[in-house]
Every structure is written in C-alpha cells, then in structure tokens.
Amino acid sequence: MLYYLFTYLDEQFNFPGAGLFQFISFRAAMAILTSLFISLIIGKRIIEYIRRRQIGETVRDLGLQGEGSKKGTPTMGGLIILASILIPVLLFAKLQNTYIILMILSTIWLGLIGFLDDYIKVFKKNKEGLAGRYKIAGQLTISIIVGLVIYFSPTVVVKEIYKEGELPVALKIRVDSIKAKLGPTATVETQVRIQDGELGNNITVMQIDGKPAYAINQKSMKTTLPFTKNHEFNYSRIVEWLGLDGKWGWLIFIPIVIFIVTAVSNGANITDGLDGLAAGTSAIIGVTLGIFAYVSGNAIFADYLNIMYIPNTGELTIFIGAFVGACVGFMWYNSYPAQVFMGDTGSLALGGIIAVFAIAIRKELLIPILCGIFLVENVSVLLQVSYFKYTKKRFGEGRRIFKMSPLHHHYQKLGFHESKIVSRFWIVGVALAMLTIITLKIR
C-alpha cells in the first residue's frame, strides 16, 4: 500500500524521496527491516498472550534426555512469522502482481492449515491434531491453484530470445507483418513493443552480435535444470514424448507441483524439532531464493548469467525479504532455549512458501539441493518406518536404522547438545545454498 501512496506522491507532487519506492532493492530492504521490527515487537506480545492462555507443548523432547524440560513452552508462535511476512508485503509490494498474490494466498492458506492442526492439539487436547487426510487435502488444493495459475495465467510468462532464422513459424509470420508495418527504413536497433491479441506476446526487436534478434514474452513450461548445457527443461516434452499435444503439459506440471509443495511443507514440519532449526534453515534457503528471484527478474543479470529472464518476478524479492526477516526475527525468541515454538502454524507455512516460491521462479528442480536438510529429515523418517515394518514382518521384531528419527533426534541420542546439532545443520544448509547458486555456472 505504501508503494502506491508514494508512487502517487512522486507523480503528482514530486515529493522528495518518494521515488525510492520505485526501486525493488529499497523496498526489499524496507521489508526486511519491517519484518524484523514486527517480529520483535509483536512477537513479545503474542508470546505473553499465548502464555496467559497456557498454549504450551505438553511433551517436547519426545523421550529424549531432559524430557519435560520444555514442558509448557508456548506454541503456535508461527503466528509471529505469518504476521511478519504478510504486513511488510502488503506495505511494500505491488499487490496487482500475480506472483505476489499467489504467495500471499499460499502463506495464508498453509498457515491456516497449520493453525487448525495446532488448535486441535492444544484446545481440543487431541494429540493427533488435524486428521492427515484433511491436511493433505488442504495442501493438494493450494498446489492445484498454484499449478493452474502458473500454467494458464497470461501474466506468467518467460522472455524468450530468438535469433534471425530461429523463430517458430507462427511467430515468424507475426514478426514479418510487424517489419512490414515498420517499413524498410526501420533498423534492428528500433525498439518495438506490440501487443499480439492472438499470441499474447510482447515482441522487442533487438540486436545480438550485429544481427537481428527478437525478445518475446510468451507462455512457456521451461524450468531450470542444473548441470546441463542449456540449463533448461520443458515439461511439454514429456507429454509430447507420450504422443500428446504440448498444450496438455499441465497434466504433468500440476502433479509435480503437488508433490513439491507437499514434500517441502512436510519436510519443514518434520525439521521443526529443535530450537531454531527450522527457522534458521528456512532463512538460509530464503536468502538463496531471493538471489534467484532478483537475477531472474532483472534482464541484465539474467542475460549475463545466461538464465531465464522471467518478467515481474523481481517483485518477489520484497516477499522473500519479509520471509527472511520473519525467520531471523522469530529466532530472537526461538533460539536455544526457546521461549516459543512455531508449531505447525509456522512450519507448514514456511515449507509451503519455499516450494511455491521456487516453482514461481522456475527453480523447483534445485530443491533437492537447496532444501537438502528438509530432504534428509524426510528420508530419515521414511527409512526408519519402512525398515522397522520390514524387519518386524521378516524377523518378528522391528529394527531401526537410526537411534531415533527424524535425523536430528538421532544425534541427540548420540549425546550431541541441541545447540551444536542446530549450528552444524545450519553450516550444512549454507554449504548447500552455495552449491545451489554455483549450479548456475556448472553445466
């Protein structure tokens, strides 16, 4: 909202300093600072309110040493995270931006699922919380919405650059008609912007190595594929390989979105078992995604790094700035020993936000690397449960791979202090983030 206010003041009254709000970097920085401020100020009040209502964990350590030492610590602290994300975004982002709308919807939706789960556990005294089928149904619904918007929305496009002779037939016909309208005196340096009603493309005539080239905004199901020469993969190729027309690519894309959103949100939920672990890991991931969003939404950086230029995604930098600020601010109260736990209200939302954000900037195939901590935590649980069931059926008694799952509890059982485990997981998270970034150049 402040963006629109100061844009108006700048245009109508040339108000001093109002023009700063046109810069994404300035608004992102303000979103980070505002998010931190909200976390620290509102967070204290929310914790006090939760404590008065005795909304606390009954068993936190799950049978580990020191059981009961955190009994009564307030939970549902994810409300602090949600407020610290949404308020700065509403203040500093362009709210007509499709990507911003999608991220706000995802945050509220997944936060609500987590809140219902926590509410049932705390107020209804039901340790099972929200039934698994309802939780999955909620994740499934938002995943379908995200997939449909990204696949079908005319505002979600990728800028493709074609050299002379590389244009698809339909676009070549359109470009030839444009050149005819411009006349023989027009040069390739002439910047031309045409709205094509049929194709919905913005076409810019440009020059590459002294030869004509055309930058065209168009619908595309391309995504970033690490460690490959062209660094891209098109989901439409899968359906074409199956003998279907490329327009049916959504049949492949939407199930992939469902899998990613569900896996990452549940991964963050499982990781939230030690003080500061989920919040710190999410902050590291958020910084990396912010870098990707900024360079993908900036034509100069995208061209230099030879990655997809995705118009309008630069605005997501404001959202991810608020996200990182919320995670860091929450750790003020969540670092060891925690004064509050985020609960499912926070963890499901954090994981879902990361997944949707990565999909929006076409970096979802980098998630196994970037979100390696979440992946390992998920896999440790799957391996533990599967092996236990297998050995119980095979040998009559269940056996375990780890002393306890998820993996962070295994290290607790080995005698490592909670703070040491969290710190080392953060270090691994930073290493994975750096590896994810350098994949842009490893081909």
Q: What is the Cα 43 distance to its own chain's centre?
A: 23
Q: What is the Cα 59 distance to its own chain's centre?
A: 30
User: 130, 117 in Cβ contact below 8 A?
Assistant: yes
Tokens of 402: 């780890």
For range 395-420, the mean pLDDT:
91
Q: Which of 323, 401, 428, 288 is nearest to 110 (CA)?
A: 323
Name which of 27-31, 133-137, 162-166, 202-206 the model is least confident about: 202-206
Task: For residue 273, give the amino acid letter.
Answer: G
User: 325, 286 in Cβ contact below 8 A?
Assistant: no
Q: What is the Cα 324 distance to its own chain's centre?
A: 11
Residue 61: the pLDDT is 40
- Beta bridge partner(s), residue 207: 212
Residue 226: the pLDDT is 83
Distance CA 25, CA 20 (A): 9
Instruction: Give residue 209's pLDDT band: very low, low, confident or very high (50, 70, 90).
Output: low
Instruction: Provide the 3-class DSSP secondary structure of residue 123.
Output: helix
Count Cα atoms within 13 angstroms, Cβ side, for 154. 8
- The 10s digit of each residue's pLDDT in 350-381 is 999 999 999 999 999 999 999 999 999 999 99
- Beta bridge partner(s), residue 222: 234
Instruction: Give residue 59's pLDDT band: very low, low, confident or very high (50, 70, 90).
Output: very low
Asked if residue 199 has pLDDT above 50, the reply is no
Name which of 104-113, 138-147, 223-232, 379-388 the model is least confident about: 223-232
Q: Which of 188, 256, 196, 180 is nearest to 221 (CA)?
A: 256
| 397 compared with 265, residue with greater pLDDT | 265
Distance CA 316, CA 150 (A): 14
Asked if residue 184 has pLDDT above 70, the reply is no
List Cβ neighbours of 158 (8 Å cut-off, separation of 6 or more): 217, 218, 219, 220, 222, 308, 309, 310, 311, 362
Largest CA distance in the chain: 85
Asked if residue 22 has pLDDT above 80, the reply is yes
Give the pairing of strands 232-234 and 202-208. unpaired
User: 310, 296 in Cβ contact below 8 A?
Assistant: yes
For range 423-436, the mean pLDDT:
96
User: 264, 354 in Cβ contact below 8 A?
Assistant: yes
Name which of 102-111, 204-213, 233-242, 334-343 the model is least confident about: 204-213
Task: For residue 112, give the amino acid letter.
Answer: L
Residue 393: CB atoms within 10 A of its CB come to: 9
Distance CA 412, CA 120 (A): 29
| 131 compared with 320, residue with greater pLDDT | 320
User: 80, 43 in Cβ contact below 8 A?
Assistant: yes
Residue 189: the pLDDT is 46
Residue 183: the pLDDT is 64
| 149 compared with 241, residue with greater pLDDT | 149
Instruction: Give residue 62's pLDDT band: very low, low, confident or very high (50, 70, 90).
Output: very low
Q: What is the mean pLDDT of the chain?
A: 85
Q: What are the backbone angles phi and psi of residue 385, rounded to the nearest 5°?
A: -65, -45
Residue 114: the pLDDT is 93
- The 10s digit of each residue's pLDDT in 263-283 is 999 999 999 989 999 999 999
Residue 129: the pLDDT is 81
Asked if residue 257 has pLDDT above 80, the reply is yes
Distance CA 367, CA 268 (A): 13
Asked if residue 63 has pLDDT above 50, the reply is no
Percent of the chain with pLDDT over 70: 86
Instruction: Give residue 202's pLDDT band: very low, low, confident or very high (50, 70, 90).
Output: low
| 85 compared with 50, residue with greater pLDDT | 85
User: 89, 324 in Cβ contact below 8 A?
Assistant: no
pTM: 0.88
Strongest mean pLDDT among 130-134, 298-302, 372-376: 372-376
Task: For residue 161, give the amino acid letter.
Answer: I
Render 34-81 in DSSP notation, one character per residue: HHHHHHHHHHHHHHHHHHHTT-B-S-SSTTSTTTTTTTT-B--THHHH
Which residue bears the tokens 């078992």? 273
DSSP 8-state code for residue 130: S
Which residue bears the tokens 């081909």? 443
Name which of 14-28, 98-112, 204-218, 246-260 the model is least confident about: 204-218
Distance CA 346, CA 43 (A): 13
Residue 206: the pLDDT is 62
Distance CA 256, CA 389 (A): 28
Residue 185: the pLDDT is 56
- Beta bridge partner(s), residue 133: none
Distance CA 428, CA 257 (A): 26
Q: What are the backbone angles phi and psi of residue 127, rounded to the nearest 5°?
A: -65, -20
User: 48, 312 in Cβ contact below 8 A?
Assistant: no
For range 76-91, the mean pLDDT:
93
